[in-house]
Structure 1
């Protein structure tokens, strides 16, 4: 069975990995790079599984239970905003120094590699420069802010946003009604993770909250930024994604006047109310909110982020 059969819409990324597996010419380090929520981590797990089980035919049970001795996952801990140097020096380095126990290779995945602190990145660089023959290191990142010296020592595998039809097919295969799947695929803008996030029924209530915030500004009423921050806190990533979608639709409608270009037709009445604003003003607010959204993954004071997002929303739509 193809280990990548559950990866959708990423043929460009998967093909070189399939060829490397078939020829047994694997790189010692891969960098999976691309937008959030498009299957990078899922593909990394699939590659790791294929590498390990190709030489450990009895290892499936260990893999399924998450206890295979030749696989390690490294990621940010809940209490820290970055991947620290101790995770490299105390976890990765001594683990890779040990020869494989069951398989012919040892595989480590570093999830959200853009969260590596500078000392951690420099420590990892030493391992990338002289990896053991049996080591495969897979870095997964949403952002292009890794050290150039790290990037240059990896085979870069780029991932794309999914086509709307691929995402629709994925959702319908999960049992979703086709019309709903199509709407969510359009709203998700190429991200499986975003589509699944919006698939929860609760998002409709959150959209009402996001709409209420923007409608208050449309009516010329200043918003209580602390109350707005409290509303965002209910589901921050969903709320901020919905605010992004609303602002994006306002920008598009200002420029085209075409309702068919909107991601959410429900936003039409809001878009009409904001025709008075200059597109640059709304675009600036959208850019600020999108930039701050990335910081949630770093756990950088989410309460302060919610307040700053509320200020950005008010500044852009007044």
Structure 2
């Protein structure tokens, strides 16, 4: 991915020197949505046999990959390659979605992206690095501890810069869902349906964000031509490695489909590819699809 030298977003906040804080952990679902979101928590919960929401915040990753574990102190943060990478990818999502919305005569309210280390207070609660990247609808911000990229590469078997770009595009996809009212609708449904039914709705939400990421990938490549051989495969591999069935099988050797909250590996790959091939958000109606 030829990302060096591209425009960097001004909507990125670096909170790595602010200290963060403790807390109870971030509510998940309509109030706080993550891609890796509960990846590590899921691994632990399926081993322990408990609800994944109860183990969020228990684990933390190391650094590495494009984004180093410990960013340089002081003013050198601005030159941190991992920091510049997320700024560059976010800038491209801004360009793509601004142009997309303009074609239908609408404005695109851009999200902020906040880089933190360890833990960070948000409008959705206390965010923790162990949750992976997440989007908070209440403040319209994507949150990421750059050490997640090392978890993605080393522990989950998904290396590559475009795998990392897919993570950001997925979280921005949740921002699109927030703008469209989808997130609020699911929050309302949470009060009316069973846990099993809510899990099924959560799967559709996550698969739609995967599809939105695929749409971004196609439109981005069409405008910039910055993808290289193997980049799309990196994103598809990342989608496969964080499928619920793959994580469950890795954790304890069994798969429990009714507990899925993000979708199977095959589903995540399928919906990313659908968005990639269509290049249109209209192709991403997971909530209207009979089969995922």
Shorter-chain TM-score above 0.5: no
TM-score, with length taken from structure 1: 0.28
Higher helix share: 1
TM-score, with length taken from structure 2: 0.30
RCO comparison, higher one (Cα < 8 Å, 6+): 2
Rg larger for: 1
